[in-house]
Structure 1
Amino acid sequence: MDRREVESFLDKASTVRALVIGDLMLDEYLWGKAERISPEAPVQVVEVTREDLRLGGAGNVVNNLAALGCSVSVCSVIGADENGALLRRAFEEKNVGIEGLFDDPARKTSKKTRVIAANQQIVRIDRETKSAVGPEAEALMTGYLLSCCSNFDVIVVSDYLKGVLTPAVLSVICKAGRTLGIPVVVDPKGSDYQKYTGATLLTPNRKEAEIASGITIADQGSLEQAADVLLGKLQLDALLITRSEAGMSLFPAKGEAVHIPTVAREVFDVTGAGDTVISVLSLGLACGLSMADASWVANVAAGIAVGKLGTSTVSPAEIVAEVGHGQTDSDTKIKNLDVLAHLVSAERGRGKKVVFTNGCFDLLHVGHVKYLQKARSLGDLLVVGLNSDASVRRLKGEKRPLIEQAERAHILAALDCIDYVVIFDEDTPLAVIEALRPDVLVKGGDYTLDGVVGREVVESNGGRVELVQFVDGRSTSRIIEKILANYEPA
């Protein structure tokens, strides 16, 4: 996937409704300095300078999905205690749906406290209940799931083996997903994967896949063998095995395996990287990406996550920036229409006047440049609609364009007077104009107002049409004629 495709995918996140079910916990971080040894015992003394409380476990998956822009609900069982109240408050602040969050006075809400000095974890303290939830809590969860699963586009299962995901609860989830056609994506734990039978996709790491399959993964052959065992035994649609520095390997039930290399970068902390993977992967499937493409973007996001310390989220902007790493500024001006429509709307909301023009711009010349500079002077933001190669051929004949659309787009984007470029495949830019609703629509002086496509759309929104003259004697056709005349064989 290229940057524009990733942008378009992430732009759909706000339309996705995700349900996260699993073991919730709080991650507490105590940051400080360790500069002396205790006189009481041979241990470091940490002077705490900062405290941080974050959503952990399945809560980090919720956090990641919310950071990506999804509408998220959560289903779990927590203790009726202070930490449980803190979890509820954190979810409410993030507008997370908590109708499926149930209290059990017999349980202790999980909390993991990490003491960190000089960017090194000194000790971790766990407070939690690991036993399976009781029949009453189990019934509350399954009842909620049966009543509301159809409201979601994807179900994300985050298992930390703390007792929330019983075989009965998992059975309801997987069967509901199959019946309703909703992807069920599972981050598994433990040695018995039979409880995940019927899920859409599992995301074990290499060690977990070894334990679950009973096969030591030492090379490509044993990796494929382990995958075959799990796919066959669990009736999955696919299996994604994360392999640390070796990247990821996607094994679909039908089709060839896809091996995705890791992105080389400095690793600070792998905590929560799996939560990032399952979050981005689930969002991708909910948005209609193929499993291979969703896995590829998840791999990019994981590379960002391990560069941060502690359980952290990854933003859409960070993913887009990573995908577009090394690309020029001009390349980032080229947008797909869905993304551009939101950008233009936001700019208009900030009081900017949006100008739009369009054309083939094959063999860019000084007439084009002066025309575009004049168009930019009529507002605060200039968007250029560029006819695709197929569109140019229909309009100007099979021998055109001389320059293919990607090159034409990059050349235009390099001009300072242009803010954004969007390629359209239709014969006219009407659909683009309807999506962007520019304040000023600019066309060449050879047009009449009545002949300008999109005039009614612009004027009905309070905008206007401007006709701008091209420089006399400058045209692509004349350049082509001159080249043919100068280089025609004698």
Structure 2
Amino acid sequence: MSAARPIPPSPAPLRIAVVGDTLLDVDVSGSSERLSPDAPVPVVDVRTDERRAGGAGLVATMLAKDGHDVTLVTVLADDGHATEIQDLLPGVRVVAGPSGAPTPVKTRVRVGDHALVRIDEGCDTPPIPDVTDAMTAVLGDVDAVVVADYGRGVAAAPVLRDAIARAAETVPVVWDPHPKGAAPVPGIAVATPNAAEARRFTDLTGDGVTFATDAADALLETWQIGAVAVTMGDRGALVGRRTGRGLDSRFLPAPSVTAGDPCGAGDRLAAGVAVALASGADVADAVAAGVADASAYLAAGGVASLLADADPAPVEVPGTDRDAMRVVHRTRSAGGTVVATGGCFDLLHAGHARTLSAARALGDCLVVCLNSDDSVRQLKGPERPIMTQDDRVELLLALDCVDAVVVFDETTPDEALRRFRPDVWAKGGDYTADELPESRTLAEWGGRVVTVPFHPGRSTTRLAAALAHVG
């Protein structure tokens, strides 16, 4: 895990052009409790039918919701679905040429948190579309360009590619490629292929950081661009750049979040990179900001957060109540046992690690209730904590045995425990379970309190005293 260096917000909304293929995305959600009588297939009782602009339209929606001045450069069909797409883009200026093909519609059918089927309509690859003068003119007066290539020809149009190349001489261009799409134009700031796209463009095989480094090196040579950021899902991204000494590669890990639907995470990352670059960040810091934006987007609910009437609450640090509740819900849905423990964890040491590992072994997930900075000061005095709660959250989530963290401001975690009602409360110490103050709270819903092995001789106070002597 890594906390990206914060990118200062721009003093005014940025003028951003989003170039690419626009689709109509439909999410049908419901429940399924029976099979069809005429075939062994599930029957879905539809509860919601959500529609949104997809592809480059989704990127434009994200940036407009962030408060930027967004122009979508795309092509649209002359049909009802195209009209619907434009209605779904409030606050976005749409400059569109004729597509020469029906509007592509992608419908996902979901039951609960699980995708059941996707139905594609009009998604055959169309001919490369014509480009109007109005489309290219947009790129001459913007602060950044995002190319969202969905393989339907907009990014392959020669006239538009020439205009993007000219724009790249003065403003940052971020190119999010597609396996069936065109290669980025030379000279852009950064391309953001995922691992599958990088394999398609390089014919390399493998996975992980070693593959991503080799792919970035090969793509820099082939594409002749400033940088390549190979994204690796919830692991983060690998950024490769050329320097006078050869390839400079940097791995940027993603914050740990509990996420369900990953749809749009790559779009969110590319949008975040473009904003950061236009605000003055270098490529590595911009990609780190994009990775953080994508993680926060997933933690907020993904595309569902874009459809909400109100803006989602910001995700300031990993390990919020929202993440914990998702972990708890997922565990209980699978019939598992939810375990919780708590403490200040001001300086993590071997005793903490052993206690947390033992607590995790009691069930199927471990939620740590962490005293906030104010709570620690109330308990231990004005000189504590030594580490801020953000750093303590990050260190705890870096442990494999910790699934989520809940920060509480009170001196005891009772109210936090009542919110997610763990099955087991585990605590390390040289006392018995009935002596723990949380026993009465857990009894409210039939939870159990247990102690795990205590490791004498290891404490934060002793460690802090030793460090003071070293200083």
Q: Specify the TM-score bucket, using the shorter chain as the normaliser.
A: 0.5 to 0.7
- Give the structure 2 partner of residue 488 of structure 1: none
- Give the structure 1 partner of residue 261 of structure 2: 269
Provide the C-alpha distance between the structure 2 equivalents of 1:159 and 1:74, rounded to a whole number of angstroms: 13
Please point out which of 40, 43, 47 is paired with 2:41.
43
Provide the C-alpha distance between the structure 1 equivalents of 2:147 and 2:108, rounded to a whole number of angstroms: 25
Percent of pairs identical after alignment?
A: 27
Structure with max Cα Rg: 1
Aligned residues: 323
Aligned in 2, Cα 1:284/1:313: closer, same or farther, shift over 3 Å?
farther
Provide the C-alpha distance between the structure 2 equivalents of 1:192 and 1:161, rounded to a whole number of angstroms: 4
Provide the C-alpha distance between the structure 1 equivalents of 2:154 and 2:185, rounded to a whole number of angstroms: 14
Letter of the 1:152 counterpart: V
Residue 109 (structure 1) shift = 1.1
- Structure 2 counterpart SS, 1:294: helix
Provide the C-alpha distance between the structure 2 equivalents of 1:257 and 1:318, rounded to a whole number of angstroms: 34
User: What is the CA deviation profile of residues 91-115 of structure 1, one whole-angstrom value per residue up to 9, with x for unaligned ones?
Assistant: 2xx22112x22344x4211211111
Please point out which of 132, 153, 168 is paired with 2:143.
153
1:322-341 → structure 2 map (5 Å cutoff): 322=317
- Unpaired runs of 5+ residues, structure 2, are 321-369, 375-387, 389-471
Residue 121 (structure 1) shift = 1.5
Quick check: 1:24 aligned with 2:22?
yes
Residue 9 (structure 1) shift = 2.3
TM-score normalised per structure 2: 0.62
- Give the structure 1 partner of residue 121 of structure 2: 127
On the 8 A contact 2:147/2:175 being kept in 1, the answer is yes
Residue 288 (structure 1) shift = 0.8
On the 8 A contact 1:30/1:51 being kept in 2, the answer is yes
- Give the structure 2 partner of residue 10 of structure 1: 9
Quick check: 1:97 aligned with 2:86?
no
Quick check: 1:172 aligned with 2:162?
yes
Provide the C-alpha distance between the structure 1 equivalents of 2:87 and 2:104, rounded to a whole number of angstroms: 15
- Give the structure 2 partner of residue 190 of structure 1: 179
Provide the C-alpha distance between the structure 2 equivalents of 1:307 and 1:169, rounded to a whole number of angstroms: 39
Residue 170 (structure 1) shift = 4.9
Provide the C-alpha distance between the structure 2 equivalents of 1:291 and 1:4, rounded to a whole number of angstroms: 12
Aligned in 2, Cα 1:11/1:80: closer, same or farther, shift over 3 Å?
same
- Give the structure 2 partner of residue 69 of structure 1: 67
- Structure 1 counterpart SS, 2:88: helix
- Unpaired runs of 5+ residues, structure 1, are 331-406, 408-490
Residue 47 (structure 1) shift = 0.9
1:210-289 → structure 2 map (5 Å cutoff): 210-218=199-207, 220-254=209-243, 256-289=248-281
1:130-145 → structure 2 map (5 Å cutoff): 130-133=124-127, 137-140=129-132, 143-145=133-135
- Give the structure 2 partner of residue 111 of structure 1: 105
Residue 73 (structure 1) shift = 0.5
Provide the C-alpha distance between the structure 2 equivalents of 1:196 and 1:132, rounded to a whole number of angstroms: 21
Provide the C-alpha distance between the structure 1 equivalents of 2:82 and 2:371, rounded to a whole number of angstroms: 45
Letter of the 2:9 counterpart: L
Residue 270 (structure 1) shift = 1.3
- Give the structure 2 partner of residue 392 of structure 1: none
On the 8 A contact 1:240/1:250 being kept in 2, the answer is yes
Provide the C-alpha distance between the structure 1 equivalents of 2:71 and 2:96, rounded to a whole number of angstroms: 9
Aligned in 2, Cα 1:324/1:287: closer, same or farther, shift over 3 Å?
farther
- Structure 2 counterpart SS, 1:138: coil
On the 8 A contact 1:155/1:182 being kept in 2, the answer is yes
- Give the structure 2 partner of residue 321 of structure 1: 316
User: What is the CA deviation profile of residues 364-389 of structure 1, one whole-angstrom value per residue up to 9, with x for unaligned ones?
Assistant: xxxxxxxxxxxxxxxxxxxxxxxxxx
1:479-490 → structure 2 map (5 Å cutoff): none
TM-score normalised per structure 1: 0.59
Residue 214 (structure 1) shift = 1.9
Residue 222 (structure 1) shift = 4.0
Provide the C-alpha distance between the structure 1 equivalents of 2:315 and 2:36, rounded to a whole number of angstroms: 47
On the 8 A contact 2:131/2:160 being kept in 1, the answer is no
Residue 265 (structure 1) shift = 2.2
- Give the structure 2 partner of residue 448 of structure 1: none
Provide the C-alpha distance between the structure 2 equivalents of 1:5 and 1:319, rounded to a whole number of angstroms: 17
Provide the C-alpha distance between the structure 2 equivalents of 1:5 and 1:211, rounded to a whole number of angstroms: 32
Letter of the 2:101 counterpart: R
Provide the C-alpha distance between the structure 2 equivalents of 1:55 and 1:329, rounded to a whole number of angstroms: 42
- Give the structure 2 partner of residue 304 of structure 1: 296
User: What is the CA deviation profile of residues 279-318 of structure 1, one whole-angstrom value per residue up to 9, with x for unaligned ones?
Assistant: 1111111111121111112111222333465635579985
- Give the structure 2 partner of residue 87 of structure 1: 85
- Structure 1 counterpart SS, 2:316: helix
User: What is the CA deviation profile of residues 320-367 of structure 1, one whole-angstrom value per residue up to 9, with x for unaligned ones?
Assistant: 61379789688xxxxxxxxxxxxxxxxxxxxxxxxxxxxxxxxxxxxx
Aligned in 2, Cα 1:11/1:222: closer, same or farther, shift over 3 Å?
closer
Could you say which structure has the higher helix fraction?
Answer: 1
Residue 38 (structure 1) shift = 0.6
Aligned in 2, Cα 1:200/1:318: closer, same or farther, shift over 3 Å?
farther
Provide the C-alpha distance between the structure 2 equivalents of 1:109 and 1:322, rounded to a whole number of angstroms: 40
Provide the C-alpha distance between the structure 1 equivalents of 2:50 and 2:3, rounded to a whole number of angstroms: 34
Letter of the 1:278 counterpart: A
Per mean C-alpha deviation after superposition, the further-off stretch among 301-310 and 207-216 is 301-310
User: What is the CA deviation profile of residues 399-451 of structure 1, one whole-angstrom value per residue up to 9, with x for unaligned ones?
Assistant: xxxxxxxx9xxxxxxxxxxxxxxxxxxxxxxxxxxxxxxxxxxxxxxxxxxxx
Letter of the 2:279 counterpart: C
Letter of the 2:225 counterpart: L
Residue 148 (structure 1) shift = 2.8
- Give the structure 2 partner of residue 341 of structure 1: none
- Give the structure 1 partner of residue 58 of structure 2: 60
On the 8 A contact 1:79/1:103 being kept in 2, the answer is yes
Aligned in 2, Cα 1:324/1:292: closer, same or farther, shift over 3 Å?
farther
On the 8 A contact 1:3/1:320 being kept in 2, the answer is no
Letter of the 2:166 counterpart: A
Residue 78 (structure 1) shift = 1.2
- Structure 1 counterpart SS, 2:260: coil
Provide the C-alpha distance between the structure 2 equivalents of 1:88 and 1:192, rounded to a whole number of angstroms: 24
Letter of the 2:316 counterpart: A
On the 8 A contact 1:301/1:319 being kept in 2, the answer is no
Residue 218 (structure 1) shift = 4.1
Provide the C-alpha distance between the structure 2 equivalents of 1:39 and 1:309, rounded to a whole number of angstroms: 35
Aligned in 2, Cα 1:21/1:191: closer, same or farther, shift over 3 Å?
closer
